[in-house]
Chains A and B, each alone.
Chain A
Amino acid sequence: MNERVTDTAEKPARRLPGVEGVWVFLAADMLFFTALFVSTMIGRRDAAEVFEAGRLTLDPNYGGINTLILLTSSWFVVLAVNAAKHDRLDEIPRWLLAAFGCGVAFGISKAFEYGTKLSAGITPASSDFYMYYFILTGFHLLHVIGGSVMLLVFWKMSRRRAFDSRRLAVLESGGLYWHMVDLLWIILFPLLYLMK
């Protein structure tokens, strides 16, 4: 039939979602975290026993629950972007609100986790391990808080119908940032909680 025509004519063009500047920002942020990952590993080399003792006081259930919260929240953002792509405008605020709810849940879970540490007298000054633990999870939490505020703003914007298939760049760019927050946690969680 006409396979040859469809082969070339219907192949979708490669497309970078969002705006290019966001990707540069994400790359810079990810390199910053890579430097933190490497310095954590070097700190571990110098004090392996202190790190292992510290790690054993962390509850991997908190980390695991936080992983599921962020994965789910990323999924909600994908659904919001898909809804915008297909002009299903009523769906967008629903998914964004759900993603925001996940961000809040992550914050509450982290507050409980920090609370158990601080009430046990554990601070960043307690050991090298806890210094890295609080710095890495603290920087990551700041990203979650910033991202949650962004999702709330997007939610309000989507209620005013600010996003649709022709006005995607802002929503997509914010979504990419939120996925990066998820991505960083996927590396950070085993690094601090799971590696013996």
Chain B
Amino acid sequence: MAAMSLNRAAILTWAFLVCASIATGLLIGGKGLSPAIVVSLILLIAVFKARMIVLHYMELKHAPLSWRLAFELWVVAAAALILGIWLFTGSAANCVAP
């Protein structure tokens, strides 16, 4: 029973991750949104996906809090660094014009 519920949790996590990946695909194909919104949403989805892997596949959800927080912090920090540099170094500005 316990094995079954663990496996059920694993397939739910996988299904969520696949749906999130499809959402990313729809976003990049979508029209009418500004690049800043699209890039922010793509990175937000990436953060959710990475956090799911950290918490459920790497099992940090039930690990000592310090390890859990360190890896969750990495996920947010990596995405924030990428988005922050993109927004504040003119990369975004270069792309707003068609």
**Chain A residues close to B by CB (< 8 Å):** 12, 14-17, 23, 27, 30, 34, 37-38, 41-42, 44-45, 48-49, 51-52, 60, 64, 67-68, 71-72, 74-75, 77-79, 82-83, 85-86, 88, 176, 179-180, 182-183, 186-187, 189-191, 194-196
Contacts and interface: CB of A to CB of B under 8 A. Distances in A.
Determine the main DSSP class of A at the interface with B.
Answer: helix
Given A41-B89, A194-B24, A16 B81 contact: no
B85 A186 contact: no
Contacts, number: 133
Contacts of A41: 81-82, 85-86, 89, 91
In the A-B complex, the 8 residue pairs with the smallest Cβ-Cβ separation, listed nearest first, are A45-B89, A41-B85, A86-B3, A75-B14, A48-B94, A196-B95, A78-B10, A196-B35
B96 to A, nearest CB: 9
A34 B58 contact: no
B32 interface: no
B21 A71 contact: yes
Determine the main DSSP class of B at the interface with A.
Answer: helix
A195 B62 contact: no
Interface of B: 2-3, 6-7, 10-11, 13-14, 17-18, 21, 24-25, 28, 35, 38-39, 42-43, 46, 49-50, 53-54, 57-59, 62-65, 67, 70-71, 74-75, 77-79, 81-82, 85-86, 89-91, 94-95
Contacts of A37: 78, 81-82
A12 B62 contact: yes
B54 A64 contact: no
